[in-house]
Chains A and B, each alone.
Chain A
């Protein structure tokens, strides 16, 4: 059985009886067992329940009962999204034994449409990182070359889709965490508009900027799953009603007459030569399809990394305060401790990157520094937003490479946090301003490593964004994943 099919193809094959959900899920589990020792995308695999669910769905199909839109397609879920009855560890010692008593809204919506949760996938601890190396359970490896990082923090999502260990994965994107692994693993990853997808059940890291986003092989799969997960949720006050009824419709509308701005600050110095040439090639392909491409300067971008790490760390320091191991967490007795001593002791189990950001965050919020750092960062955020608003008066979409460099080797940059932070330069503007962005696999480097191209649209213009991404996808002719 060919596991290398899109979610859309899967649905039509199950509907016409070519394959059954049980067969596909079972073969996917076999695949996981075959490649996991090399990839390590999964933290938890829920084999038995997945197979049982597939059988039930097959029975419904045979009995011609109403079946949900997903037809039993197997998904992987980033391990910071709550799944009832399955561990949600956030790849942290601190939540080693945490089992949520509820499903995240995205999970309950997917289950209602007969999606199957195969398991939970790896991430940088609490989604803090760009490489998935900062996981308590060890790094995930890039299916294109297992010596290389898969990107992050949703590295398990990118790798599990790329290595054919599921059809679609849900990740979360705080500063590029869905798009980075999508780019490094040659799959599609979307960061929706802030407020389009419910965060209820997503374990907060930087709650004012993050969104749950899907990772899939094809743009049409992203549109399909966005239809299910997007829209107002009464459990998340920051969500909005979705504007478009159906993201899968008119995906092939084309690009003629569309204006695309090429972000100057992301296509100049500091960009890998091969990434730059792939970007230029993408631009010329889009022009061939009738798009008008013009350079756009967003000079506030140069402050964006500093602003991002100030805001994200500040929010992280507050969001992660609750992990005191008193109500849930890991097995560690309180005997012999006073409250503060106990909290300090258990909280020393956070990994190095999380600790770094919590300390940074506590510092920028402390008395006397709030105005100097946090407020200033918010000003930068406003400045970037106004420049983006200006840009979208001139163009329909913005374009830049997703990552400024090619995937690199595991361990290569792990001791150099600043360099790692700077890798987010092309992705974080979408988080700081709330706009949607998508990474589309576009090229493979001479060293056989993936390159992704990123498109941005204005807030809640996912439909336009997906149409453009679909057009770009059609121009790329990529080899199969080598693993």
Chain B
């Protein structure tokens, strides 16, 4: 049986400052080595000052993943020499001598399957190595320490995944979860990075590192399953090793064997005193945390009668569920959810497009109200929405400008139906024989009114006229 475990590194991008100093946590798009200070480049004599907000955010992730939070947390030094690591040790957490990391023994359900979380730890991100040309051939490695010290949460799962598909589902849920908590923007480049380990039946555990994106981890895992199974079939032993994902060639490449793995000589970090976390602090945090996606989904279904699939899609998306929360009322909730999931999400499915949306909660609310109160048809609503998104104009402005007002009085509709009957004599005759042909006439009426008439009222009028 295939067993897959994951190590996910998630930056706490929503923090203002780095984990141990006041440099900006947002290191992106800055001149190299301009976001540094004596602490994050580890100058002699500097000391780390723990960012307490980072502990809080890491605790939120731990709670959301059902982890135990210990009464005392502490930090360890992981010692190894690497040019992106200014102190040549990384300040991280370590549970080998008792659980002192922010979370452990959690679980999360995906498609009815439980994935156990082994531990969650808070640590600092190293700097970044920049190669001149490709990393294989270059003579020169440049180091940018802007990222050094950025707060990072490492989430380690048990090897509970049975397929790359489960991994993808899990990662999507996790990305939505951290976004919903307001601790990270998982779609920023490098904000969420995944290493995997995988073994097939009769094989050793192989680690996969250097995977750039969620899509690639799925591909890398597929590649590994095929590679490992073909070895097993030929009775070739699978060595325990670390393999790197080669993004260009879409294959994994052996990097170093397990035996040579470094001894990290873990040591307690005495510069950061042990932090007491009271049960009370945890429960306060739990109460003040944003509502979970699961709870939100339940609420949408129970309170507003929103269909489960719609509720699922809406609750998982932080941006749209926040828009929904601001836009809906008791009466229009279902309609608002509908507009968002069937139309709006189609207009703007990427982060950039979402940011460009000119629609406000008030606009959306008005539109949902309009549909519920029969002021505008669903069909016209879609046109209005398109306009709102582009121009930011109010519903009433758009209705006037585009003449989208709902034609609801029977006499006006009757007049239009009469016109169509004159134009489409053949169709009328056919409809009299065959009731299914009525739809053609309804369509003609809709087209003539640019969708402003209510289809069911129209149908009723046509039927009446046909039978008279």
Contact = CB atoms under 8 A, between A and B. Distances in A.
Given A237-B273, A326-B83, A314 B45 contact: no
The size class of the interface chain B forms with chain A is 20 to 34
A101 B36 CA distance: 13
A95 interface: yes
A343 B80 CA distance: 12
A200 B47 contact: yes
B273 A100 contact: no
Given A315-B267, A315-B270, A317-B265, A98 B88 contact: no
A201 B89 CA distance: 19
A31 to B, nearest CB: 29
B72 to A, nearest CB: 15
Given A315-B270, A370-B266, A343 B81 contact: yes
A89 to B, nearest CB: 10
A367 B273 CA distance: 24
Contacts of A366: 263, 265
Contacts of B44: 82, 88, 90, 95, 98, 100, 203-204, 322, 328
Interface string B382-405: 000000000000000000000000
Contacts of B265: 317-318, 362, 365-367
A397 B44 CA distance: 35
Contacts of B136: none
B79 interface: yes
Interface string A355-387: 000000010011100100011000000000000
B43 A236 contact: no
Contact of B46 (A200, A327, A343): A200
Contact of A237 (B46, B143, B266, B272): B272
B260 interface: no
B273 A207 contact: no
A328 B36 CA distance: 15
Contact of B45 (A88, A327, A340, A374): A88
Contact of A100 (B41, B43, B81, B97): B43
A455 interface: no
A238 B42 contact: no
Contacts of B86: 322, 327
B89 A321 contact: yes
A370 B272 CA distance: 20
B271 interface: yes
Contacts of B266: 365, 370
Given A100-B43, A317-B265, A340-B81, A237 B50 contact: yes
Grouping DSSP codes into helix (H, G, I), strand (E, B) and loop, the B interface class, with mixed when no group exceeds half, is: loop
B190 interface: no
Contacts of A322: 42, 44, 86-89
A324 B42 CA distance: 12
Interface string A423-458: 000000000000000000000000000000000000
B47 A321 contact: no
Interface string A331-364: 0000000011001000000000000000000100
Nearest to B82: A339
Grouping DSSP codes into helix (H, G, I), strand (E, B) and loop, the A interface class, with mixed when no group exceeds half, is: loop
B49 interface: yes
Contacts of A185: none
Contact of B43 (A90, A238, A324, A328): A328
A149 interface: no
A101 B37 CA distance: 10
Nearest to A367: B263
A235 B87 contact: no
B263 A237 contact: no
B45 A235 contact: no
A380 to B, nearest CB: 16
Nearest to B264: A367
A397 to B, nearest CB: 27
Given A318-B77, A318-B79, A367-B263, A234 B49 contact: yes
Contacts, number: 98
Contacts of A146: none
B38 interface: yes
A314 B76 CA distance: 13
A327 B41 contact: yes
Contacts of A235: 47, 49
Contacts of B42: 322
A365 B79 contact: yes
Residue of B43, B89, B266, B268 with highest tally of chain A CB at under 10 A: B43
A315 B79 CA distance: 11
Interface in A375-403: 375
A191 interface: no
A208 interface: yes
B149 to A, nearest CB: 14
B68 to A, nearest CB: 24
Contacts of A204: 44-45, 271
Interface in A211-234: 234
A240 to B, nearest CB: 10
A339 B142 CA distance: 12
A103 to B, nearest CB: 10
A200 B45 contact: yes
Interface in B38-72: 38, 41-50
A450 B45 CA distance: 33
B379 to A, nearest CB: 63
Residue of B79, B268, B271 with highest tally of chain A CB at under 10 A: B271
A237 B88 contact: no
Interface in B376-433: none
Contacts of B47: 199-200, 235-237
B310 to A, nearest CB: 49
Contacts of A236: 47, 271
A235 B50 CA distance: 10
B187 to A, nearest CB: 33
A81 interface: yes
A100 B37 CA distance: 12
A324 B87 CA distance: 9
Contacts of B141: 339
A81 B38 contact: no
Interface in A310-325: 314-315, 317-318, 321-322, 324
B272 A318 contact: no
A180 B301 CA distance: 75
Residue of A90, A102, A104, A322 with highest tally of chain B CB at under 10 A: A322
Contacts of A90: 44
Interface in B78-116: 79, 81-83, 86-89, 97
A87 to B, nearest CB: 12
Contacts of B268: 208
Given A318-B77, A370-B266, A237 B43 contact: no
The 4 closest A-B pairs by CB, nearest first: A208-B270, A321-B88, A365-B265, A82-B45
Interface of A: 81-82, 88, 90, 95, 98, 100-102, 104, 199-204, 207-208, 234-238, 314-315, 317-318, 321-322, 324, 326-328, 339-340, 343, 362, 365-367, 370, 374-375
27 contacts: A82-B45, A100-B43, A101-B38, A200-B45, A200-B47, A201-B45, A204-B44, A207-B271, A208-B270, A234-B49, A235-B47, A237-B48, A237-B50, A315-B270, A317-B79, A318-B89, A318-B267, A321-B81, A321-B89, A322-B86, A322-B89, A327-B41, A327-B86, A339-B141, A340-B81, A362-B265, A375-B97
Given A102-B45, A324-B83, 14 more contacts: A82-B45, A101-B43, A200-B47, A203-B44, A203-B45, A208-B268, A235-B49, A237-B272, A314-B267, A317-B79, A322-B87, A340-B81, A365-B267, A366-B263
